[in-house]
Every structure is written in structure tokens, then in C-alpha cells.
Structure 1
Amino acid sequence: MNKKLKPLPQFANESQEQEFWEAHDSAEFVDWTTAKNVSLPNLKPTTKTISLRLPQHLLDGIKTAANSRDVPYQSLIKVWLQEKLHTQ
């Protein structure tokens, strides 16, 4: 790459760095042509606990479906939500 890259600035904290990158293009500071793909096999997605109110008959039906598939009902709900999300 013939383009002269700018030196990376020093940041006092993470919020200062976040503000900087929101306003600047990283291509001015990093030669992305030399970037390499990495694999992070042990990385798990962040999860958040939610409260979901369902009618009792609906929850019973979900539990029955999960039991017939021999999976926890919460896992089955996650699978169904993921499938529905990808069909949109």
C-alpha cells in the first residue's frame, strides 16, 4: 500500500476511544489489506434474561413439544425464535 497511514492516537479511556472511532474511518489508520481472518471457537454470544408472560395453555403446548423432542422448553423457544427471525 502506497498510502501513508496516520499514527493511532492514545486514548485515556474506552469511551474516548469509542467517540474517536465513531467519527473516523479506520482505513486512515490501519492497512486492512494485511488483515487476517481469525477463529474464536470458544466465544459465546452474550445472553440476557427476560421475563415473558405466556398464556398457560401456550406454555403447556411448548413444554409438550419440547418433551417430545427431548430438549428443554427454553431451548426450543430459542430455536423457534431464531428460525422465525431468519425466515423474515
Structure 2
Amino acid sequence: MAKSLPEFKNEKEEAEFWDTHNSLDYIESDEPVEMELDPELAAKIRERARTKQVTLRLRVSQIEAVKEIARRKDIPYQTLIRSWIAEAIRREQGSGA
């Protein structure tokens, strides 16, 4: 018999729960089910599928500085670098340069 799910106060609490629990313990059966994704999540998944990996050579001091900033923001350093690149692209495109 499957365990019942607790009520979550917010997404962060739910994410922490799933980080420490096995989802298989909460499934009633192994029958296939149909699910619908939130349109925003579906768009993010499609966008991520269109990414391309690149390699950049950075000084060790730059990488360590980025990692420290990312730690303070509590995000992965690669995510921080991607957000900085996206921000710079928006700024450049907006300036007409």
C-alpha cells in the first residue's frame, strides 16, 4: 500500500521532501497515467532541449570568484554564468549595439 502525501506549505518544502523521499513509495500502482505539464514548465523543457554545450577557458581565480558568488546566492555556478550571459545579451540587444 502506498504512503499518503503530506500537505506542503510551498514549493520549497515540497522540493525538500522529494529530495529525501523515494517517489516509488507514494505510487498506488504501476499502471500508466496521463499527466499534463504546466505550460510554463513545458516551455522550459523545450527550451532546454535546444541548448548546446560549449567549453570556455577561464582563469582559476575567475572560476573561484563565480563559485563564491553562486554560493552566496545559493545557486549552481553554471546557472549563474548562464544568467549573466543571458542578461548581457538582453542588454546588448536592447541598446541597439
TM-score normalized by the length of structure 1? 0.52
- Aligned residue pairs, count: 49
Q: Which of 67, 76, 85 is the aligned partner of 1:63?
A: 67
1:78 equivalent to 2:82? Answer: yes
Unmatched 5+ residue regions in structure 1? Answer: 1-39
CA distance in 2: counterparts of 1:64 and 1:75, whole angstroms: 13
Larger radius of gyration: 1
- Counterparts of residues 2-81 of structure 1 (less than 5 Å): 41=40, 42-43=42-43, 44-45=46-47, 46-81=50-85
Q: Tell me the distance in 2 between the aligned counterparts of 1:66 and 1:84.
A: 17
Higher helix share: 2
Q: Give me the identity figure in percent.
A: 31
Moved beyond 4 Å, runs of 4+: none
- Matched with 1:13 is none
Superposition TM-score, scaled by structure 2 size: 0.47
What is the Cα-based RMSD across aligned positions, in Å? 1.2
Specify every segment of 5 or more residues in structure 2 that has no aligned partner in the other structure, as ranges. Answer: 1-38, 93-97
| 1:87 corresponding residue in structure 2 | 91
Q: Indicate the SS of the match to 2:56.
A: coil
